[in-house]
A and B are shown apart, each in its own frame.
Chain A
């Protein structure tokens, strides 16, 4: 059984249907990418999975529980973390406090401390800046902090929304390296990305979205050589 199984998902913003009956799945240990142009519905899907946007129809089964019927704040303790679009870090709190909030639902102090060390290992820069107010970090550092904050919940699956957005090429490569590391450590990854080339190079499988529908799916290695994908998303 798939770890995350989305069936016939439909989402509306008012009368406009943003997601028109989408089905996809993510297996344990995979890196799955959702790619597509602006407005295709990629972010909406992630928001619906973690309950920030309500679904109209369909089901989102995560290890046997339907997330559509689960309040948003209960999802993280089930083992699913979400690094949202635009990072949405707590600007007025320190780096350390942001990371602390990432472990909000956890109670075991020793394990939280171990997670903090793990996050600092992935992102040494965050350790250097732990007392700095998060809003004063650079864009790349904010992205690292958002990812670190998600890791603090000790997730088994992590949803990432446009981790490369607004970052310099150097930072983009660094962020993608870290995503690979996180995946190697056994965390399943569902990633939404406009930088199709980059994301297909680290993903196992991918789904291509167009205006709320999946138009193509397959192994990342195949999609990267697919002519229509090349033309539409890789700029070749």
Chain B
């Protein structure tokens, strides 16, 4: 039963990683860039939740919505201001810009909110599920449930709406997509919008589990989600989901049964091993670069 409880914790943590990884992988798919500022959008989402609930006294649901809208807008603005002018620049310039945006967001949070972590009331309050003498965290179950629903929606959206297909088309060939009448800039904006809104949800779920938010809150889950996206095969939507869930389970189980200190080392060790065996990730396609 102890194992089951750890497994559910892992699933819940993993589903948060998966939500963040989705943003990484979708943006990578369409822009072929690693948006290292993505993790910090989670932090912004968490602060927004805290402001909406504690300062403005909004109800939890509305607060989550506010957080999503702010993050989605932020994501679209980041792309327009920082990345769009570099659309034809070298990948290295874009990468460094992304790191710059990440520091910019962290420093802005530091300036605005200070370096002390602030306590955030959980937006989700559900009683634990009791099965006999055994209890499962209600928040974990909600996290898992929300993530599953969002993933189903995103998968459906990408494969069944014209906007979703436009995202796939632009990811594959921007020029050919334009010839179909697809507005490439708009499609990229939509991708950033979706990714950042998902990051906001991830932020809400993350601080609901941990209770505190600080300027660097987004950095570790951001990196872990990036690992998850690479593990699953970057560019692949189901890969990001699988990678995130696996990573969460590995982390939880190694914390419970091996060592708390070593759990991160184990997580990154798994990444190294997987990449040695499958360089394109678990569900990644072998890509031949077109010259």
Nearest CB in chain A: distance from B237 CB, A = 12
- Please, which residues of chain A bring their CB within 8 A of the CB of B127? none
| B277 interface residue per 8 A CB criterion | no
CB distance B168 to A92 under 8 Å? yes
| A100 interface residue per 8 A CB criterion | yes
**Alpha-carbon separation in the docked complex, A82 to B181 (Å):** 11
| B131 interface residue per 8 A CB criterion | no
CB distance B175 to A73 under 8 Å? no
| A72 interface residue per 8 A CB criterion | yes
Which of A14-22, A83-91, A212-220 binds B? A83-91
Number of interface residues of B (CB under 8 A): 18
CB distance A76 to B176 under 8 Å? no
Tell me which of B165, B177, B181, B285 contacts A153 (CB under 8 A): B181
Q: A100-B162, A104-B162 are in contact. Are A73 and B168 (CB under 8 A)?
A: no
Q: A77-B181, A104-B182, A153-B181 are in contact. Are A88 and B166 (CB under 8 A)?
A: no
Q: A50-B179, A76-B181 are in contact. Are A97 and B165 (CB under 8 A)?
A: yes
Q: A74-B181, A76-B179 are in contact. Are A93 and B173 (CB under 8 A)?
A: no
Q: A84-B175, A88-B173, A88-B176 are in contact. Are A93 and B165 (CB under 8 A)?
A: yes
Contact with A along B155-168 (1 / 0, CB 8 A): 00000001001101
Q: Which residues, 84 to 98 on B, are CB-close (under 8 Å) to A?
A: none
Nearest CB in chain B: distance from A228 CB, A = 34
- Please, which residues of chain A bring their CB within 8 A of the CB of B285? 92
Look across to chain B and name the residue whose beta carbon is closest to the beta carbon of A51.
B178
- Please, which residues of chain B bring their CB within 8 A of the CB of A97? 165
| A102 interface residue per 8 A CB criterion | yes
CB distance B168 to A90 under 8 Å? yes
CB distance A100 to B184 under 8 Å? no
- Please, which residues of chain B bring their CB within 8 A of the CB of A101? 165-166, 169, 177, 180, 182
**Can you sample 25 A-B contacts with CB below 8 Å?**
A51-B178, A71-B183, A72-B178, A73-B177, A73-B181, A74-B181, A76-B179, A76-B180, A77-B181, A81-B179, A84-B175, A88-B179, A90-B169, A91-B172, A92-B172, A92-B285, A100-B162, A101-B165, A101-B166, A101-B169, A101-B177, A102-B180, A104-B162, A104-B181, A153-B180
Binding site for A on B (CB under 8 A): 162, 165-166, 168-169, 172-173, 175-184, 285
